[in-house]
Amino acid sequence: MSAALRTPVIAVVGRDVPIELIEAHGAMVRRLELHPGSDVAEATQILGTGMDPAAIAVLAGVLETDAAPFDAIVLCSDSDATQRLFYGLRELARMKPERGLPPIHLVDIVHLPRASSLEYAREEVGLLAARLQAWTGRTPSAADLSRAVRERDLARLLLADMRRRVDGATFFAWRSSVDEMPAAVAVERLRAALAAEPDPLPESVPVALTGSSQYGPEVVAAIEACGARVVADDCAGGSLGLEIGAREPSLDGLSERYWRDGDSAHRGSAPERAARLAIAAERQGARAIVSYARRRDDAASWEVAAVRSATSLPVIVLHDQDYGRVDRSLLIDALGEKGGARV
């Protein structure tokens, strides 16, 4: 069945892919991921061992499963690992056509606060729109685009409200699933959830989380199983950027939104991020800050000093962690010592 007759599915990797543009083209968004424990040998050979294992896991997922259901895979430059994953997939598609990989596209959003960077980001979003039109056979009207942008902005704001009502694992589960829902459905479900009586929050040490991206609840759940409750975060895949909306619901407005939303551990300024995290942590009553980084994901290690300077809260460093894992004994000890936890 051609993409024009069914709902096209676009796989995405990273936080700089404007998913509302995909939705405006009538396509569904699927975030590529892999559950820890899968075979990563071939992906490791292709990408090398010196890379954030999350990206290796994504490639392993593409290799392990049939990628044919996707009409395209769109990646971005939100981190070195995502960009290198693009290069790896592009070369794999070129050299091994028998794999049947769908079209691979990089939307290269840049973030420096200059007019030239904004212009480049605008062109990149325009190029993505042209590719989406080719893949889906659909040209969204201005109203389609406006609706997709506004609804996605609203879904993000409702997620920010949800952040204050639930434990960390629940929030990250919402966060990852909302990206894959049509925005209107997400808004409806989030409103219903927010209207319900909130579940009581567990008695545990409130912490703020920083560091590696978290596209899913697994790591946060593991952290919370050690006696913490993640009440704030500045992680890609988490709270980061939820309150940044498009100033106008157009292609230009969308480009400008994604250009501004570059404050991740990999692309943002350490002291600026640390200052914002410290404020969020203190507002939410965190008693400690947890800096969590996967092995070979070095950006977080450059932010620890800035975080320590920005806050009087204790900083618990959980770095060099295996993909999907948390050093439980280290965290439990640190929470007991620094967070006053009874665990």
Partner 1 sequence: MSDDRLRSARDALRHQREWFARISAEAAAGTPVALVNADVPHELFRALDVPYVVNQWWSSVAASRGAAQSGLDAVARAGLPRDSEPYNLIGMGNVLNGDSDVVPGWGSLPRPALVATDYTGDVTRKLFEAWRDVVGVELFAFESVAQTAPVDEWWRFIADDWERVVGSRRIDLMVAELHELRAVLERVSGRSYDEDRLREMLVLGNEQAEWNRRTRDLIASARPLPVRVNDTIPAVMLPQWHRGTEWARDAARALHDEIAERVADGYAVVPDERARLMWIGRGLWFDMDFYRHFEEHYGAVFVWSMYLSIAADGYARHGGEPLRALASRFIGFHERLYVAPEASDWYVAQARQHGVDGVVHLVSDDPRGGWAITAALERAGIPVFVLRADNADESTYDAEEVRAQVAEWLRMLRPTGPT
Q: Which residues of the shown chain bind partner 1 in the complex (CB under 8 A)?
A: 45-51, 77, 79-81, 83-84, 86-88, 91, 94-95, 105-106, 108, 110, 112, 114-117, 119-120, 123, 265-267, 269-271, 297-299, 301-306, 308
User: Nearer to partner 1 by C-beta: 112 or 185?
Assistant: 112
Please say which residue, 45 or 65, places its beta carbon nearer to partner 1. 45
**Closer by beta carbon to partner 1, 94 or else 247:** 94
DSSP SS3 for 105: strand
Q: How far is the CB of 303 from partner 1 (least distance, A)?
A: 8
Whole-number Å distance between alpha carbons of 233 and 199: 20
Smaller CB separation from partner 1, 11 or 51: 51
Q: Which is nearer to partner 1, 123 or 248 (CB)?
A: 123
Q: Which is nearer to partner 1, 250 or 301 (CB)?
A: 301
- Tokens 């969204």 belong to residue: 140
Q: Which two tokens stand for residue 238?
A: 């988490």
Smallest separation, CB 55 to partner 1 (Å): 8
Q: How far is the CB of 238 from partner 1 (least distance, A)?
A: 18
The least distance separating partner 1 from the CB of residue 86, rounded to whole angstroms, comes to 7
Instruction: Name the residue among 73, 23, 80, 38 with its Cα closest to residue 212.
Output: 80
Smallest distance from partner 1 to CB 301, Å: 4
Q: Are 230 and 207 in contact (CB under 8 A)?
A: yes
The DSSP secondary-structure symbol of 201 reads: P
- Nearest distance, CB of residue 59 and partner 1, angstroms: 11
d(CA 110, CA 259): 6
The beta-carbon contacts of 176-184 under 8 Å, at least 24 apart in sequence, are: 176/31, 176/215, 176/216, 176/217, 176/237, 179/12, 179/19, 179/29, 179/31, 180/28, 180/29, 180/30, 180/31, 181/155, 182/23, 182/28, 183/20, 183/23, 183/148, 183/151, 183/152, 183/154, 183/155, 184/151
